[in-house]
Amino acid sequence: MRSRRLKSSAPRWPRYAVAVLAIAAVAGFVLREPIERAWLTHDLASASGYDVAIGRVGHDGGTLVLDNVRLATPAGSFVATLPRVAFAHDGARAGVTLDAPSLTFSLDRWRGGAGVRLGRALRALHVDAMHVAVRDGTVDLSAGSVPHVAGSLQNVTLDGDFAGASADYTAGAVLVSGGTSYPISAHGDAAGSVWTAKALPLAMLGALAGDATNRLTAGTLRDATLRFGGPAAPRFEAHAEGAALLLDDGRKIESVHGPLSFGAGMLGSRGLTGDYAGIPFGFAGEVRDLGPSFAWLWTGTPELHGIAQLAKTVRAEPGLQSMRVETIAPSLDYAEYALKGEHGPVAVSVLSADPREPSLRFDTAIAEDRVMSGGERTSAMGVRTHAVGGVNGDYFDIGRTYQPQGVLMRHGELLRGPTDRAALVLDRNGGVTFGEFTLSGSLTTPRGKFPVTQLNAWPAGEVTVITPHFGKTLPPADGVTYAELRPLDARAGTYRVERVVKADAPIPPHFGVAFGPLLKGPLPHPGDRVVLHYGLEPAVPGAVAAIGGGPILIKDGAWYEDPHAPAAAERDVRWPVIALARKPDHTLMLVAVDGRHPERSIGMTRPEFGDLLLRLGAMDAMALDSGGSVTLVARAPGDANVTVRNHPSDDSLERWVSDALFIYSSAPPPTLVAPVAASTPIPEARPSP
């Protein structure tokens, strides 16, 4: 019998299996490095948001070694070059050693995204806690045309728990500049990070501006603190000492001292003092248009240019003794300065506004919201209407009815008709028209058509339009008849006569028409349908505000002798004066000069005031009520309400006036120089008689 061989149940490997396993082993060994490198590159880039390149990945026992690592923000604002990174991990704790790292910050490219999301990046490496040591660390700060700033970051240590999305850490470093060491310490947790330094060199920051026309050249920041992360916006605070700024005209602002604050695109101070080319100088306020980069260090911003231009204009004043500049709101700046004039000292206050700034608008206010009142202080009207700056307005019937003598328009509504002297009208685009205006209008009734000659003037002469803004009552007046009107179609100017009464007793002022003794013709009857139209002539398209005053002081860039000047005998009297002026670039200025204080300010004649306005760059200008009425108000940095910034001449007390011209801002309130609660008491308001 032929014997059979029994089949084994164990599998038989093909001859090529051994070859496949050998090839796989070799491939695994060969491909391990590029696979690890690709995985680490992808994870680090995803976690940090940086562009990541790794030259080689290797292993030294239990230590992961990365050679020639480069991390950079997409815009190139921050670049880290790490020749060697050694990463040791024993389960609960990890150690990272960086040999000769080079960190480069190109501030002109910075867009606010240079911070590594460190917690996520380290979680990609499965790290719960770590210690970082930097050997021979340096930092190269470059910006624009400046390739290098002499400074280095040395002896860097970082220790903390990075297991969560936000890191708990402590850090320390030493910044070396000009042979001086500046220690820096930091700590962070879920509530945010705090970095502090007893001192930092301003000259190093100024060098970043390279050949910029305005740059820092000296000084120190004391007690510097940077807070970021958590719910609050980033904020840097310090105290400047001995700072110096070189300007594009070759002049310097030196010996600058005072607090400084920086926020997201903002800087501010409650009060810096220094020396501006030999003149005592001060600054306070907040600038908000710096943007997310540091480009403003060498290019400036519109708000910074506005402040600088106002400061340079004031600095050019002859006989300048001292000056102070403030930011009140975006594109609204304030300056006050003292001159040594030919006849004595002079104190000047200026509000400068850019009408192209969308958050700014001009408007008027009237005492107690009535044409006939007991008067109200300019500051009280400003607080009541939430203005950020302004001045007193028109001449008025002082001590009696307080009616303004000229035109008044508020919110686009005429409240008072014009007279035969100068007035100014502001439109919705911030443009201003100077000139003389008349009231043009007519009343058509079934019994005739009459010209409208007055608005909210009492007693009526011919046909006078009366609105609820006139006052509490219409006083008795001989020969005057009042017809109350109810609107049918106000846009078409059609009304119905509700009642007709003689003004032989006080009458509550509703909308209506008063007929004076000079009118010739039959009056309307109750129930009549009438058509009423009235407005300024010449018309100003888009007019939102108007106020009377005079005289015109500057016209087309030259002194103007106004033939209809009020109080013409006061032309050459040296006393307090105030005006609104327009510059060729359409900048609007409210300018006040104090007077009747020989020890502080003697005032100016109208021609002297005209010369001052021309030096400030006025193309056109008109005076407002001068003398004891001169009042300029503005919100000071850190205050919630406007306050009087000049020194009124009535024993330095603010006068009750009839109306005022104000500037309003819709911009958010300051945050770096935030208003202090109850910092400015509301001024006293006097009730009307």
**What is the radius of gyration, based on Cα positions, of the chain?**
37
Residue 144, pLDDT score: 42
Distance CA 160, CA 162 (A): 6
620-671 pLDDT per residue, tens: 999 999 999 999 999 999 898 999 999 999 876 899 999 999 999 999 988 8
In sequence order, which ranges of 1-70 are alpha helices (DSSP H)?
A: 15-48
Largest Cα span, the chain: 157
Strand partners, 85: 66, 98
Q: Which pLDDT score, from 0 to 100, does residue 516 have?
A: 93
Q: Read off the DSSP letter of residue 650.
A: B
The residue type found at 618 is A
Tokens of 646: 């000049």
Q: Which two tokens stand for residue 187?
A: 């700590």
| DSSP assignments along 448-501, one per residue | EEEE--EES-SS-SSEEEE-TTS-S-B---TT-EEEEEEEEETTTTEEEEEEEE
* Residues 6+ positions from 190 with CB-CB distance below 8 Å: 164, 166, 168, 230
Q: What torsion, rounded to 10 degrees, do the Cα atoms 376, 360, 551, 404 define?
A: -30
Query: Which tokens hold the place of 133?
Result: 């040591």
Closest CA to 386 of 636, 659, 664, 634: 664
CA distance 459 to 156: 84
* Whether the Cβ atoms of residue 432 and residue 582 lie closer than 8 Å to each other: yes
Apex CA 443: angle with CA 439 and CA 446, to 5°? 170
What's the pLDDT score for residue 62?
77
Contact 514, 460 (CB under 8 A): yes
Count of positions (residues) in the chain: 689
Q: What is the mean pLDDT of each run of 10 residues along the chain (689 residues)?
A: 42 51 52 81 81 89 86 78 79 65 59 39 38 49 42 54 56 74 83 90 66 73 90 89 86 94 92 96 94 72 92 96 97 97 96 95 96 94 96 94 95 93 94 95 93 92 94 93 94 95 94 92 93 96 96 97 93 97 97 96 98 98 96 93 94 90 95 72 52
DSSP string, 87-150: EEE-SS-EEEEEES-EEEEEGGG--S--S--HHHHHHTTT-SEEEEEEES-EEEEEBTTB---S
What is the structure's pLDDT at 689? 41
Distance CA(670)–CA(672), nearest Å, equals 6
| Secondary structure, 3-state, 230-266 | CCCCCEEEEEEEEEEEECCCCCEEEEEEEEEEEECCE
Q: Which residues pair with 514 in a beta bridge?
A: 464, 482
CA distance 671 to 661: 27
Among candidate residues 474, 480, 469, the one with its CA nearest the CA of residue 502: 480
Cα end-to-end distance, the chain, whole Å: 145
Burial of 41 (0-12, 13-18, 19+ CB in 10 A): middle
Strand partners, 64: 59, 87
Q: Is residue 524 a contact partner of residue 500, using CB atoms and an 8 Å limit? A: yes
- pLDDT for 591 equals 98
Q: Nearest to residue 151, comparing CAs of 98, 223, 104, 204?
A: 204
Q: How do beta strands 180-189 and 192-201 pair?
A: antiparallel
Sign of CA dihedral 569, 573, 575, 576: positive
Half-sphere exposure of 63 (CA within 13 A, CB side): 12
Token pair 């009237």: residue: 366
CA–CA separation, 241 and 209 (whole Å): 20
**Residue found by looking up tokens 């990945």 in the block:** 57
Residue 303, SS3 per DSSP = helix
CA atoms of 512 and 6, how far apart (whole Å): 126
Cα 209 → chain centroid: 24
- Cβ neighbours around 26 below 10 Å, total: 10
Nearest to 563 by CA among 550, 576, 572: 550
Query: Nearest CA to 88 among 127, 47, 34, 39?
Result: 127
pTM of the model: 0.82
- 179: phi then psi, degrees, rounded to nearest 5: 80, 0
CB 540 within 8 A of CB 407: no
| 582-586 LR contacts (CB < 8 Å, sep 24+) | 582/432, 582/434, 582/618, 582/619, 582/620, 582/621, 583/616, 583/617, 583/618, 583/619, 584/557, 584/617, 584/619, 586/355, 586/356, 586/430, 586/431
Classified as helix, coil or strand, 288 is coil
- Report how far apart, in Å, the C-alpha atoms of 208 and of each of 215, 293, 296, 304 are: 9, 13, 11, 18
